[in-house]
Structure 1
Amino acid sequence: MSFIAPAPSSAPKTIINSEFWPDIDLAKLREAMRLDGTVTNERLEHSVINAALQTNSDLKDWRIGQQILGFDGLEQVPAEQINGQSIYLQLYLRAVYCLTKANLIERYSDFDSTAKGLKAGEVLGESVDDLRRDARFAIRDILGESHVTVELI
């Protein structure tokens, strides 16, 4: 039995975001989320756009508030810096990256409907939940909200 490594992705690309939000560098996303060449650029682009749309929508009111205060872009909003980057930028990218990977895992699990594939899908399902939670936490951190929502019945 031989092992054939997936081909590296070709032609790094940047997804141009709306004017307030940062653009998404697909090569950096691939590196951060450990996505190899089995994820095509077309599929990755589709998932990133979906993730950015969702994240931008969740942060729409916050963005409008920042723009009213005179900030034209996320990186202009005053924030603590870690490793020379705004924590808002880092949290935004975390949300987009996590939602992208969650979307990809959900879509790739439909390739194999055998017992082995279904078992792998169950394991990946836990990972999808973790990724969606991490994205939600990042968004709530930007909003300045708690990670826990409690409602008394």
Structure 2
Amino acid sequence: MQINTVNATPTSAPAPTDGQAIPSSRFWPDIEPSHFRAAMRYDGTVTAARLRHALVEAIAAVNGELAGWRVVKIAGGALRLVDIEAEQIDGESALVQRWRRAVYAIAAADLAERYRSFDATGAARQRADDLDDTADQLRADARAAIRALMSVGRCTVELI
């Protein structure tokens, strides 16, 4: 039995076959949809097509935000993200892990927003509000991962 991230309840929907890795440009690593599904705890209630669509959009969004950074790194001689010297954690570049985290967080935020219930009951409204909070937190996680990848400091400002 798996946990459905959308409503955080156990489901018995089997995970579908997600297909092949999603390639990006030569600089960025491929994304394995099945790895995203396992890491972010999505079961079969999210179709392979919808999951892939969210991942493709997330890759485009993250790569777009990092376009200028990538140009600088390529000019410095790095042909791929893995070519940039970085700490290795669990056998993988921390930069690759942060890029993947940003992609996964944006894709999960997109899926959370798309799976909102349109039911008008009080419980459905509460679930929709919870999903809004989840999507906001996931987008904040993506921002943090992107800034960490770029080695740019971050600060949190709260309005009173």
TM-score (norm 2): 0.86
Matching residue of 1:146 = 153
* Alignment correspondent of 2:118: 112
Higher helix fraction (1 or 2): 1
- Residue-by-residue CA offset, 1:60-84 (whole Å, 9 max, x unaligned): 1110011001111001111011111
Q: Where does structure 1 differ by over 6 angstroms across 4 or more consecutive aligned residues?
A: none
Which residue, out of 16, 38, 62, partners 2:45? 38
SS at match of 1:15: coil
Deviation at 1:105, TM superposition (A): 0.4
Q: Report the number of matched residues.
A: 147
Question: Taking every aligned residue pair, what percent have the same amino acid on both sides?
Answer: 37
Pairing of 1:6-85 with structure 2 (within 5 A): 6-85=13-92
Q: Does 1:123 align with 2:130?
A: yes
CA deviation profile, 1:45-98 (whole Å, cap 9, x unmatched): 110011011100111111001100111100111101111110000000000000
Query: Which of 87, 91, 98 pairs up with 2:105?
Result: 98
| Partner amino acid, structure 2, of 1:105 | A
Q: Secondary structure at the match of 1:37?
A: coil
How far apart are 1:149 and its partner, in Å?
Answer: 6.4
In structure 1, C-alpha distance between the alignment counterparts of 2:96 and 2:55, rounded to whole Å: 16
Which secondary structure state, in structure 1, belongs to the residue aligned with residue 115 of structure 2?
Answer: helix
> Take 1:70 and 1:149, find their aligned partners in 2: how far apart are those partners?
34
**Please, which runs of 5 or more residues in structure 1 have no aligned partner?**
none
CA contact (8 A) 2:27 2:80 kept: yes
| In 2, Cα distance between equivalents of 1:31 and 1:63 | 28
- Structure 2 spans left out of the alignment, 5+ residues: 1-9
What do you get for the CA RMSD once the two structures are aligned?
1.6
